Structure 1
Amino acid sequence: MKPLLLSILTGLACSVSSLHAVEPEQLEVPLEPLSAEVELGVIATTGNTESSAVKGKATIKQDFREWKNKYQFDALYKRNTYEGDDQTTAQKVFFSAQSDYKLSPENSSVFVYGSYTDDRFSGYDYQNTVAIGYSTRLFADQDSFLDYNIGPGYSFNRTNEGELDDAFIVHLQMEYEYNFSPEVKFTQMLGSDVALESNKNTASKSESSITSKLRDNLSMKAAYNITHNSLSLDMREKTDSITSVTLIYAF
């Protein structure tokens, strides 16, 4: 991982840890000290063309009286073999961390966010983002809710040719969830780092998914993911999409 990302995420972790240390009594009665989900899907084909693909994701959440934290890791790897020729066709790693300071019991907070993306076939060596802002829940009822984050930030990007592509951005993120039943839910995630200059890259992503609970801690998820970069590098496609079916274990 690049030194820039390490310094960003280390600073974020240290700031959150120091704030917790100032008020240790709040750690004694956590709302939900730790929850996590691990997601994994594997696809393999044989015959004239052999291929294998692995998709993994891990999400860790902490919920304290005045703070909540979220860490996310996402990875994709795909390899094809045809007539003895091996070729990697997808290799992507994404990591993000967000810490929210709660302003009220109604799900409003201010946040600090950092992310790192390494997509081998995007034309970028790496894409980093840092942002601060405001988050709240627009609405909620018995079956659904809609959350959003918005705030200014900065992106640190480098192309495969070594050129730097840094820009001021507006960080936007939305999450909608609808529960059809206690066992089945629909989730829509949208995120975009909108560049304030027209000649800079705007990176966006979307995930639409249906999750069905199989057992208490085990679920199956069908998802459609879209990743879009507004600037095309080296004649590459601006948009990538992935359809996946994975198993999720929660603990």
Structure 2
Amino acid sequence: MRKTILISTLLMASGAAYAAEEAPQSPWSGSAELGFIDTSGNTDTRSTNGAFELKHKGKNWDKSLKLSALTSKEEGTTSKEKYNAAIKLDRNFSERSYLAIDATQERDRFNGFEYQSTVSVGYGYRAIKEEKMNLSLEAAPGYRRDKLKESGDINEDSILRLAANFDWEISEGVSFIEEFTADIGEDNSTYKSETGLKSKIIGALATKITYKIKYVEEVPDDNENTDRELGITFVYSF
């Protein structure tokens, strides 16, 4: 009797382990962030920020949506207010090559622009594709449309978009992230860099320290070319 029970238990355990191994991984993933930002440049203030990212990996298409908001008030007056939205579609040709489609828009009350938006379609290549390290490079022609806040003038320009995205799992639960983009146009060019270090706390919860730089060659009068953000956020991944 005991032998029969033991065999049954082992079979059930083996079946459960096999089922766990065979369970398909969900193509959906994402994260939500909430934290603190220290900014300098067009505004020198301390702010709270939130961000949301949703990704879907398919056989032929990879998709992602990023939304972020940053606000701050000093003595009841809004001193910082910025919103970002980015949509990315990648059509995979092979394990490494893909068609990169990107659309972004930024709305910042204090940088002299009503909005800044770009759209581009080009070629992407995953130069490094390993379990703990990835590097993707992109080059794409595109179009930029900016609206000035003071005059309401709209500036349009053809651009060349260059991008590099790097992530490295330094150790279990600790990751380094670097994202760089350059939107190079005849009338204006914008460069962005985000450097981050993400550390797991427990389960799906982690902390992330990020340093962002944005440089715009031509800006409205009385505005600075460079904005910097140093942020400490809590990240929940799903």
* CA gap 1:52/1:187 in 2 versus in 1, 3 angstroms: closer
Match of 1:176 among 148, 166, 188: 166
For residue 77 of structure 1, what is the aligned residue in structure 2? 71
* CA gap 1:58/1:182 in 2 versus in 1, 3 angstroms: same
Deviation at 1:43, TM superposition (A): 7.1
TM normalised by structure 1 equals 0.78
For residue 16 of structure 1, what is the aligned residue in structure 2? none
**Unmatched runs of 5 consecutive residues or more in structure 1:** 1-29, 45-50
* 1:1-251 aligned within 5 A: 32-42=26-36, 53-81=47-75, 86-104=76-94, 106-160=95-149, 161-195=151-185, 197=186, 200-251=187-238
* CA gap 1:229/1:193 in 2 versus in 1, 3 angstroms: same
CA distance in 2, matches of 1:218, 1:35: 14
Deviation at 1:42, TM superposition (A): 4.2
What residue identity is the alignment partner of 1:235? D
Deviation string, structure 1 residues 90-114 (Cα, Å, up to 9, x no partner): 111010111111101x232102211
Instruction: Compare the two structures and name the one with the higher strand fraction.
Output: 2
4+ residue segments displaced more than 6 Å: none
For residue 47 of structure 1, what is the aligned residue in structure 2? none
RMSD, matched Cα: 1.9
* CA gap 1:249/1:93 in 2 versus in 1, 3 angstroms: same
Identity of aligned residues (%): 28
**Unmatched runs of 5 consecutive residues or more in structure 2:** 1-23, 39-44
Deviation string, structure 1 residues 166-224 (Cα, Å, up to 9, x no partner): 100011211111211121111111112111x1xx2212211111100112211100111
TM normalised by structure 2 equals 0.82
Which has the larger Rg? 2
What residue identity is the alignment partner of 2:222? M
